[in-house]
Structure 1
């Protein structure tokens, strides 16, 4: 087994933000590390670019990295209140997402179609002649 360090995007740090952190794993290939790290807790699973980098390291750096991750309280929080308390130790590694505009459009409020229907001549005919059969063959 080889030892790897994967740089990934972690979530739960605010809308359109991510925490750039590291996951230390043992695997046979970089592809296997990328698959495993995508489903680690707090990683942005649904993002195509969640895995930023994968590099091979030696056993000493692997063990040292595991100890560093255990020392970061962000990875051991059970609720939002605990996470807010430890926010100060990770705030210098929090970045904005590149595609913020796309997210805002996706979460925009759906508008009424009334204006569209009012401009449609078929709808206007149907509205004024409710008693007539609209679908006449």
Structure 2
């Protein structure tokens, strides 16, 4: 089973780059890259995302070696929240009076906080 380093190394070779050029372009020190090779450390999450983006590769493949190209999610033709007419119908049941009251109370609370925030910023100016 390949390591993360070996998969990154494979991407570098496929791109026809040198490891040094790869490190320079992605701002990776050669020491850190060497630590990845020795298994001492692995790239952090942000760096893995950057590497995946750079090579247009999936994070699943870089991290786990799983090829997800064949497993791409596809949109179903099932009507999720749409009726046959195409109109949005995401409300399964009418709201109860208690739910309506809660929403109205939340809106008032939000207005109060907004006004309070605006008053504080005006006072600071």
Task: Tell me if both proteins adopt one fold, taking TM over 0.5 as the criterion.
Answer: no
TM-score by length of 2: 0.21
Which structure has the higher relative contact order (CA within 8 Å, separation 6+)?
Answer: 1
TM-score by length of 1: 0.20
